[in-house]
A and B are shown apart, each in its own frame.
Chain A
Amino acid sequence: MKLLKEKLESIFSGVQVNILEQDRLIMSAQKDAVLSILSFLKGKGYTHLALISCVDWLEEKEFELVYVLSAYMQKDNGYTDKEKTNIILKTRISRGNPEFLTVISIFKNAEPYEREIYEFYGIDFKGHPRLTPLFLEREYKIPPFRKDFDTREYVKEVFDKIPFVENKDGKK
Chain B
Amino acid sequence: MRELELYFGPQHLGMVGNFSITLKVEGDRILEATANPGYLHRGFEKLMELRNWIQNFPMVCRINVVEPDSMEMVYSMAVEKLAGIEVPERAHYIRSVCLELARVGSHLFGLWAYANMLGFDTVAQWAMYHRDLILDLFEELTGGRVYHIYIWPGGVRRDFPEGFKEKIVKTLHSIGSCVPDYDATFFNNRIFYERAKDIGKITREEAKEMGATGQVLRATGMKYDIRRVEPYAAYNQVPWDVPTRKDGDAFSRIWVIRDEMIESVYMIFKLIDKMPDGEVYNKVPNPFKWNIPKGEAYVRCESSRGELGLYLVSNGEDKPYRAHFRTPSYPHGLTVLEKALKNASIADVGNIMISLYVVAPEIDR
The residues of A with any CB-CB pair to B shorter than 8 Å are 22-24, 26, 47-51, 53-56, 66, 68, 72-73, 76-77, 79, 83-84, 86, 88, 107-109, 111-112, 133-137, 144-145, 149, 151
User: Chain B contacts of A76 at CB under 8 A?
Assistant: 221-223
B45 touches A145 (CB 8 A): yes
A111 to B330, CA, bound (A): 11
22 contacts between A and B (CB under 8 A): A48-B211, A51-B309, A53-B311, A55-B321, A56-B322, A66-B311, A68-B298, A68-B326, A83-B224, A108-B211, A109-B210, A109-B335, A111-B334, A112-B331, A112-B334, A135-B37, A135-B364, A137-B38, A144-B46, A145-B45, A149-B46, A151-B46
A50 in contact with B307 (CB, 8 Å): yes
Chain B residues contacting A133 (CB-CB under 8 Å) are 38
* Supplied contacts A111-B335, A112-B334, A133-B38, 18 more A-B pairs, CB within 8 Å: A22-B81, A24-B298, A47-B208, A48-B211, A51-B326, A56-B322, A72-B208, A73-B223, A76-B221, A76-B223, A83-B224, A86-B298, A88-B298, A107-B211, A109-B331, A111-B334, A145-B45, A149-B46
User: How far, in angstroms, from A133 to B35 measured CA to CA in the complex?
Assistant: 12
Tell me the bound Cα distance from A144 to B38 in angstroms: 14
Report which B residues bind A (CB closer than 8 A). Answer: 37-38, 41, 43, 45-47, 50, 81, 208-211, 217, 221-224, 228-230, 296-298, 300, 307, 309, 311, 313, 321-322, 324, 326, 330-331, 334-335, 364
- Docked-complex contact A26 and B307, CB < 8 angstroms: no
Query: Cα distance A49–B212 when bound, in Å?
Result: 10
Q: Given contacts A47-B208, A50-B211, A151-B50, is CB(A112)–CB(B330) below 8 Å?
A: yes
Q: What residues of chain A lie closer than 8 Å to B228, measured between beta carbons?
A: 79
Chain B residues whose C-beta falls within 8 Å of the C-beta of A111 in the assembled complex: 334-335
B309 to chain A, nearest CB (A): 6
A84 engages B210 (CB within 8 Å): no
Q: How many pairs of residues, A versus B, come closer than 8 Å at their CB atoms?
A: 93
> Chain B residues near A23 (CB, 8 Å)?
230
A78 and chain B: residue at smallest CB distance: B223
Which of B46, B221, B296, B309 is A145 in contact with, Cβ under 8 Å?
B46
- Chain B residues with CB under 8 Å of A66's CB are 311, 324
Q: In angstroms, how far is the closest chain A Cβ from the Cβ of B36?
A: 9
Q: Bound state CA distance, A47 and B307, in angstroms?
A: 15
Counting chain B CB atoms within 10 Å of each CB, the highest count among A54, A108, A135, A145 belongs to A135
Which residues from chain A contact B45 at a C-beta distance below 8 Å?
145
The CA-CA distance from A53 to B313 in the complex, in Å, is 11
CB–CB A108/B222 < 8 A: no
A93 to B330, CA, bound (A): 25
Q: Is A144 within 8 A of B300, CB to CB? A: no
- List chain A residues, Cβ under 8 A from B217: 72
Q: How far is the CB of B235 from chain A (nearest CB, A)?
A: 13
Which residues of the partner chain A approach B334 to less than 8 Å between Cβ atoms? 111-112
Decide if A77 touches B223 in the complex (CB within 8 Å).
Answer: yes
CB distance from B252 to the nearest CB of A (A): 16
Residue of B nearest to A68 (CB): B298
Question: B324, A53: Cβ atoms under 8 Å?
Answer: yes
Q: How far is the CA of A136 from the CA of B40 in the complex (A)?
A: 10
Distance (whole angstroms) from the CB of B45 to the closest CB of chain A = 7
Asked if A51 and B311 make an inter-chain contact with CB atoms under 8 angstroms apart, the answer reads: yes
A132 to B209 Cα, complex, angstroms: 22
